[in-house]
């Protein structure tokens, strides 16, 4: 009993120390400075639009780095560059501290593509039984992508020399704050597909040591879809 109390107080002390060292940003100031971001990224960093990334619970160092990259043009997105053009380093740190302190929302369970289902429903040349087979084939495709995502996240893909995502993005997709590796859990699948595709083509090239480009360039379209679907369900 005594032992565990000591352990608790030591870890509190450590928490306090690291809290002081890292508290470069001011959460309240950040909230005030983030007013112009809510139309796209949501009230507390949980955007409703699938191509606008969620910022809630994202790691502070990563957020600052991306804002700097939009500002200096090393990450390309004209609306984002305009948004951060007038920001000082302190503004970015405050905003990052605000978003990092929020809670990321869970996504609804991913659905089969409704257009594909409509195509099956509307196909008059199929009998009811054939339609049911087609729906089941679609469901299987979806389930296969989800299990591929689960597997590659944990184990990587040895055949194609793709590293396991878990090593840098954490067992629960929480990222790695000291290393500024981003959190991924709860992110929108569509945004993840866009990010991975941008790393693959080199359209997004500000990543340190080209780490994500080296990984994404070996990923197939199916693998990108699988990773994105699976990661969007992590919580």
> Token pair 């990923």 is at which residue?
219
Shortest reach from residue 217's CB to ligand HEC, in Å: 11
233 touches ligand HEC (CB under 6 A): no
Nearer to ligand HEC, 126 or 168 (CB): 168
Question: What is the number of other CB atoms lying within 10 angstroms of the CB of residue 9?
Answer: 10
88 touches ligand HEC (CB under 6 A): no
Shortest reach from residue 120's CB to ligand HEC, in Å: 30
Tell me the Cα Rg of the chain: 21
Nearer to ligand HEC, 90 or 135 (CB): 90
Nearer to ligand HEC, 97 or 152 (CB): 152
Out of 57, 97, 120, 192, name the contact with ligand HEC by CB under 6 A.
192
* Cβ 165 vs Cβ 223: under 8 Å: no
167 touches ligand HEC (CB under 6 A): yes
Tokens of 218: 């070996």
Nearer to ligand HEC, 120 or 194 (CB): 194
Question: What is the number of other CB atoms lying within 10 angstroms of the CB of residue 67?
Answer: 22
102 touches ligand HEC (CB under 6 A): no
> What is the C-alpha to C-alpha distance for residues 161 and 48, in angstroms, rounded to an integer?
35
Out of 56, 57, 67, 97, name the contact with ligand HEC by CB under 6 A.
67
Out of 29, 52, 138, 150, name the contact with ligand HEC by CB under 6 A.
52
215 touches ligand HEC (CB under 6 A): yes
* Cβ 204 vs Cβ 195: under 8 Å: yes
Q: Please enumerate in sequence order all residues whose Cβ is within 8 A of that of 89, keeping only pairs 6 or more positions apart, or say none.
A: 64, 68
Give which of 136, 167, 135, 134 is closest to 152, Cα–Cα. Answer: 167
Give which of 191, 52, 188, 228 is closest to 108, Cα–Cα. Answer: 188
Using CB under 6 A as the criterion, which residues of the chain lie in contact with ligand HEC when the complex forms? 34, 36-37, 39-41, 51-53, 55, 63, 65-67, 77, 79-80, 83, 95, 152, 162-163, 165, 167-169, 181-182, 184, 192, 194-196, 206-208, 211-212, 215, 227
């Amino acid at each position: 009993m005594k032992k565990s109390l000591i352990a608790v107080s030591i870890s509190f002390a450590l928490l306090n120390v690291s809290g002081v060292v890292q508290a470069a940003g001011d959460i309240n100031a950040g909230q005030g400075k983030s007013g112009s971001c809510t139309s796209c990224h949501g009230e507390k960093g949980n955007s409703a639009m699938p191509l606008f990334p969620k910022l809630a619970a994202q790691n502070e160092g990563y957020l600052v780095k991306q804002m700097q990259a939009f500002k200096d043009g090393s990450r390309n997105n004209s609306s984002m560059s305009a948004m951060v053009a007038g920001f000082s380093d302190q503004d970015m740190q405050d905003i990052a501290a605000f978003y990092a302190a929020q809670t990321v929302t869970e996504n609804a369970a991913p659905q089969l593509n409704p257009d594909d289902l409509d195509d099956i429903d509307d196909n008059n040349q199929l009998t009811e039984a054939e339609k049911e087979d087609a729906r089941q084939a679609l469901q299987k495709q979806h389930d296969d992508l989800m299990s591929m995502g689960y597997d590659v996240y944990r184990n990587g893909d040895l055949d194609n020399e793709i590293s396991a995502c878990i090593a840098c993005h954490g067992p629960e997709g929480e990222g790695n704050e000291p290393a500024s590796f981003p959190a991924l859990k709860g992110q929108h699948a569509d945004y993840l597909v866009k990010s991975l595709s941008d790393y693959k083509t080199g359209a997004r090239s500000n990543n340190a040591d080209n780490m994500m480009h080296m990984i994404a360039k070996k990923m197939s379209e199916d693998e990108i879809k699988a990773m994105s679907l699976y990661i969007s369900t992590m919580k």
